[in-house]
Amino acid sequence: MLTLDLTNAPCWHDLVPGVRVQLRPLTTALMVATRSDTAVEEVPEEASDEERAVAFAKALARRVILAWDGIGDADGNPIDPSPEAIDALLDVWPIFEAFQLTYVSKGLLLEQEKNALAPLPSGPSAGASNTVKPAKKSAKTAPRG
């Protein structure tokens, strides 16, 4: 069953031990806006899928990260999220992977769940019951004679 969170409240996600981020709910509007982000559109056509994924993840993260804990500057002082800091955060491989798995993949998992359901019958015979009865075996007749 698909459950809807009608509150649309931001949630905290633990990315790695000691680092958590507060994220907006993943919505269709966010995904569409991210696809149209200039940083995503400016990725060269010859770029690899990996380069496209990084550009998309950074653009999405810049839209959805509201706050974070456990992130600081080179001197260890806590810093607030900014576009530059968010990009630098996602340049850390374990953070990128965790962001993809705990946040972005939720939409993909929903798609997989939808695809795992049995397809509904369609067409003119949808919902029709089988009216064909199995043929009875005919008894062999004794030879006449």
CB atoms < 10 A from the CB of 65, how many?
24
The reply to whether 78 falls in a domain is yes
- Is 23 strand, coil or helix? strand
* pLDDT the model gives residue 127: 44
The reply to whether 142 falls in a domain is no
Q: Is the separation of the CB atoms in 70 and 20 below 8 Å?
A: yes
The reply to whether 69 falls in a domain is yes
Number of domains in the chain: 1
The reply to whether 92 falls in a domain is yes
* pLDDT the model gives residue 137: 52
Kindly calculate the radius of gyration of the chain based on its CA atoms and give it in whole angstroms: 27
The reply to whether 35 falls in a domain is yes
- Output the CA–CA distances (angstroms, integers) from residue 145 to 133, 141, 142, in the order listed: 35, 12, 9
Per-residue pLDDT of the chain (145 residues; tens, 9 = 90+): 777 767 789 999 999 999 999 999 998 899 999 999 999 999 999 999 999 999 999 999 999 999 999 999 999 999 999 999 999 999 999 999 999 998 988 755 654 444 444 444 444 444 444 444 555 555 555 555 5
Q: Is the separation of the CB atoms in 19 and 95 below 8 Å?
A: yes
Measured between alpha carbons, how far is 21 from 79 in angstroms, rounded to an integer? Answer: 13
The burial class, CB within 10 Å (0-12 / 13-18 / 19+), for 15 is buried
Model confidence, pTM:
0.71
The reply to whether 21 falls in a domain is yes
The reply to whether 144 falls in a domain is no
* pLDDT the model gives residue 38: 95
- The domain containing residue 15 runs over which residues? 11-116
The reply to whether 96 falls in a domain is yes
* pLDDT the model gives residue 119: 45
* pLDDT the model gives residue 7: 75
Q: DSSP letter at 140?
A: P
* pLDDT the model gives residue 23: 96
